[in-house]
Structure 1
């Protein structure tokens, strides 16, 4: 299924069906918009479409997934595709062996029939979830249904190489050298073969090696020029180009440009995508003679290399070549894309980057079928604007698990109460509602109608982060460049976050064992969790400290009230309750927390000019060690806030090449201690999860904790 590493979603924002998550973009694709919690987060990814996916933590998600996901093992073993599959892992990670998971071998044949109706809380907004602004669970879910790839996670969180699609052969471990080969006969749904050209596009667009810099990306992915200090440039009515200034060029409350002003479009090469993994491949990959494979030589070892592969799913190289370069013939078009990268043709690459960044963003069925080509189980046949999608089994697909359901109706129901009611009324068959006391109780009351629940912790965690380069209360520039004052304001806000109260009032009633999460990289219960928490400094924020917060503001000479624009999902009742608790607590210390809820919060994360603090969930899409790097490193794909720390950057650089588990734990402890010390923000809790389905109409629904949660074994679903 879609390569985790390139689900640039990051941490896909948390969108777990109900909880606003972002998928963490971690390069290896490990986090995807945390879109999935109950469907409320986005892979800017998003919880419920609202959270962004976060690739997590040295295998820590494995613990989460196997807890509460036991039915998965039983079902997949019955099918023979997962669980105790007999797959041989002895040749994984060794020279001559697999560089992208345990090879699966042939899959069972299946006859697709019937229809299953699924509900999610957020709509698909882009057919290219590999861009930073489209890294959301709501986008990643559909990509998983429509695209195949080199690997996917099974019910036991084994990374499986779909060797019917292609193979990843380790030629050398020093230097790390991997050959990624697409099998003959694998194609896009328009009949165009998938070849090395598509792998070159995947590597080139996400590596950052061709980006010329000097730009910022707007919410829609379009690039605009910045000056040397990173200030956005504005074209005035008089034709002058100047750095934007609040109150002069734009409304400081709405952040909309005044009439007559416009941002200066960037004409340079800048792809809105990032992969720490492929950033390490600076040599142009060697293309095989048959045009089906590329061999990558890494500049240095990358610890999570198994997760990431250079196949994007969408966009296709021949479509990008047509749209960007005007070449209609598919073979010529994709060769022109490869030539542009190989020759570092700035003019052509600038056009390719613009198409890659923006041309695939749609919220209804595009007129151009090339925008939504399939490479996997299902083809998209209809998309009513932000309301409902129809996906039909791809008749030409033979290179992976075979689906048993002919048609999937994918409905967008933003209101979790309405979604629960739709399930009760037999209007939908599967959903991941936000896990609240009321929703769980209501669903349990429908047991006599065939409604079954699967509960357990998810791989999504809630957190609050601060924008530190937007001219707001947490930015040193607001205080004349005084770093200490800005840090004091951030620390004061951290002291008023009522994390324990949020647990007790909103999470414990669903999961009595719930506790505050005190780690940015580890799931509670994971092997490294206690050790890292003991050394990261979060103990200083274990309880609300109003007096301490007031003292910090007074000592720093900061006048109150301090306005804090608080960004979070609009269609998430639990987040609304969290905001109320935070606002009330913060007010006691002199903070005025401004309600900044938004229905499109996920795509807006990359524009911190409209907020000062963001609250959402990061959802993991893989089991990895260094996948959290893009959340915190300078310029990281999931670091939306302007945060930059040389020590953090150096630690993650070391972690990427470290295979010793003891040193890995030490590095992550140092990372977290620095994040706390410098006031990055705070984690709050691990998301509880619930999947509900009507067993009268569908069977074999067995979610896993990481993205794509309920969809991971869609091929096992059977319609009654």
Structure 2
């Protein structure tokens, strides 16, 4: 295994030893789909749940584009049902001339004017209105942004059909070889400041995530500073005496060992280069400058090689281009600002640096910004208040006509980190909708207030729990600790993972909530999915089938590794289940010779990008899309959700092949091969699929449901009605 550092992710990361999460879910996941700040993270088309996890939305790719007839049709045979019960027009997904972003919906059902108020609670407050940055990719941010922008180009319905909201815009496949797609925003679709959403907004997404402008010697730190990078990709630090410090020159002396922040007197050396704090394996394949139509509403992109998950990883609008240009270039008029932004990107002028820095930092906020453009939206709801405690208030937008119409006038989104407190708030009728991280006690408490109108829905969640190891932080799993001996470091990782009591965790913490719960043994497949059994049968996960501390201790002894071995374990603070997991893991790995150090952290989501603070981390990955290669960013070299410095050429090559493969059988074979390498390298372990509980008070709200991918309970927010 080649454990070279990722230049992009290095942030202040390599502080004490030598991160950014994707999006997250409500109970400790991130998105892999995307980190879940609730305690999960997302992967590719997942996002960490910052409520306890991180999100991965893209996957790598390559080879020649396949013949059009080989492209799988992702739509249902007769087309998915529309949300209003009608039949959607055929999408011709995967065909030239067809839709590249789901099955077109057609006109939406007219509704009465929105009315009433619904109060919903989540477990982590938002901190950025740009969830496409490495720092902002978390469920904590994605949930509010979905409420504000729901009904954009595409969304998933209750049956997980991917729907193109053609009232907003269309995505047309012009060619499959080379893959060429035209994205068009309908005239009259505007940001809530009245500015038309258009090609400039999509061009900015390409510029920020495609990597064409990034300087290899420039890195964005975890504080958003554009800094000079050393040869290893670490941000160079300037000391009080003016001397430069890099990762191999006493770098840890510049950082607080507990917080991982720069000590007084130390600063990052600012770079003159450009670095957008993001990446997309899909858009990195669009190296030719996209073409913008004369009316400015359409943009056409051509991929250098076929990208199998183009439908969920294309040119969609993110933050408003006119706001970025206004902030970066000092141009007041929105139209002039967008024109200047396009010209700067097209000619690659020095203004691109200012554009990148605005995109990186200007949309971060933990309360209502003075400048309303920072939280501009194009969907059914406007943000009207954002208080210091994280509470947000959304009001239905009066002029919104280009998507499903909202039924509720006011949504109050409050933050309650403790699931027991969330249940109590529901019992007190202070909130109407919650999706807490469920434990047996939480479920019992919810069932105990059924007489007050509380409905409880159980199901499989979008998040899975896992534990990952940092391999390039100077810690116990880093080859550098053993003089560069990669085999010894691998054995130490194997021994640690072999001691993790996955079955005991499931038996004690998950089975009481889901009698059918099992240990998850795949890093890419959900238990019960078509490919799961075949992949598990050949991926090498059977080595870790049973926790065996005695065998782990023998591995260490045979390798000549002295014990005890200190391992700093980071996990979400104020999360009872994570704390219980920690205790079970601690007691088991101790028998093998590992001293597990309690590293619970309220800021665990943002600190994922800083592996100097931990050696092992357990959280959840939350899936945000149904895709083939969406897990790539978790494992490929420099992947957006690969926070740990892991790099393996075989894994990179396999994902390159996967991104260009349309044969389903070969896709499964590739994923099995990827997993075999990851388990052999002891990258980390999956543990369990989250049980999910959605509770709502039917006395006050109707239409609440949930799906098994992000944004879970918010997926049909427009169908909610206040009773």
TM-score for the superposition, normalised by structure 1 = 0.92
How far residue 54 of structure 1 moved from its aligned partner, in angstroms, is 4.6
**Match among 416, 424, 429 for residue 426 of structure 1:** 429
Q: 1:501 to 1:450 in 2, by over 3 A?
A: same
Could you tell me whether the CA contact under 8 Å between 2:20 and 2:609 is conserved in 1? no
Could you tell me whether the CA contact under 8 Å between 2:419 and 2:438 is conserved in 1? no
How far residue 41 of structure 1 moved from its aligned partner, in angstroms, is 4.0
**Match among 49, 52, 58 for residue 51 of structure 2:** 49
**Match among 400, 422, 429 for residue 397 of structure 1:** 400
**Match among 550, 569, 590 for residue 566 of structure 1:** 569
Name the residue aligned to 1:606.
609
Q: 1:489 to 1:143 in 2, by over 3 A?
A: same
Quick one: distance in 1 between partners of 2:383 and 2:256?
41
Q: Deviations over 1:222-281 (max 9, x none)?
A: 332221123432212222213142564334454343432222223311111111111111
Q: 1:626 to 1:43 in 2, by over 3 A?
A: closer
Name the residue aligned to 2:366.
363
Quick one: distance in 1 between partners of 2:142 and 2:413?
13
Could you tell me whether the CA contact under 8 Å between 1:83 and 1:156 is conserved in 2? no
Q: 1:470 to 1:359 in 2, by over 3 A?
A: same
**Match among 255, 262, 270 for residue 250 of structure 1:** 255
Name the residue aligned to 1:665.
668
Could you tell me whether the CA contact under 8 Å between 1:43 and 1:139 is conserved in 2? no
SS at match of 1:306: helix
Name the residue aligned to 1:441.
444
Name the residue aligned to 2:455.
452
Name the residue aligned to 1:74.
none
**Match among 365, 375, 380 for residue 377 of structure 1:** 380
**Match among 600, 604, 615 for residue 597 of structure 1:** 600
Name the residue aligned to 1:134.
136
Name the residue aligned to 1:224.
227
Quick one: distance in 2 between partners of 1:711 and 1:10?
24
SS at match of 2:184: strand
How far residue 607 of structure 1 moved from its aligned partner, in angstroms, is 1.0
Name the residue aligned to 1:20.
28
**Match among 337, 342, 346 for residue 342 of structure 1:** 346
Name the residue aligned to 1:86.
87
The 5-angstrom pairing of residues 79-158 of structure 1 reads 81-82=82-83, 85-110=86-111, 111-147=113-149, 148-158=151-161
The 5-angstrom pairing of residues 666-705 of structure 1 reads 666-705=669-708
The 5-angstrom pairing of residues 202-601 of structure 1 reads 202-244=205-247, 245=250, 248-313=253-318, 315-345=319-349, 347-601=350-604
Quick one: distance in 2 between partners of 1:687 and 1:10?
23
Name the residue aligned to 2:14.
none
Quick one: distance in 2 between partners of 1:172 and 1:10?
35
Q: Deviations over 1:366-422 (max 9, x none)?
A: 001110001001000001113311000011211100001000000001111110000
Could you tell me whether the CA contact under 8 Å between 2:23 and 2:131 is conserved in 1? no
How far residue 216 of structure 1 moved from its aligned partner, in angstroms, is 3.8
Name the residue aligned to 2:76.
none
SS at match of 2:585: helix
Name the residue aligned to 2:713.
710
Q: 1:286 to 1:635 in 2, by over 3 A?
A: same
Quick one: distance in 2 between partners of 1:402 and 1:247?
53
How far residue 358 of structure 1 moved from its aligned partner, in angstroms, is 1.2
Could you tell me whether the CA contact under 8 Å between 1:468 and 1:641 is conserved in 2? yes
260-269 vs 612-621, which moves further: 260-269
- Residue segments in structure 2 that go unaligned for 5+ positions in a row: 1-18, 60-79
How far residue 220 of structure 1 moved from its aligned partner, in angstroms, is 2.9
Quick one: distance in 2 between partners of 1:214 and 1:505?
48
Quick one: distance in 1 between partners of 2:20 and 2:230?
28
Q: 1:40 to 1:229 in 2, by over 3 A?
A: closer
560-569 vs 670-679, which moves further: 560-569
How far residue 638 of structure 1 moved from its aligned partner, in angstroms, is 0.7
The root-mean-square deviation of aligned C-alpha atoms, in Å, is 1.9
- Structure 1 residue ranges (4+ consecutive) displaced by more than 6 angstroms after TM superposition: none
- Residue segments in structure 1 that go unaligned for 5+ positions in a row: 1-8, 25-30, 58-76
Quick one: distance in 1 between partners of 2:39 and 2:642?
21
Quick one: distance in 2 between partners of 1:231 and 1:291?
39
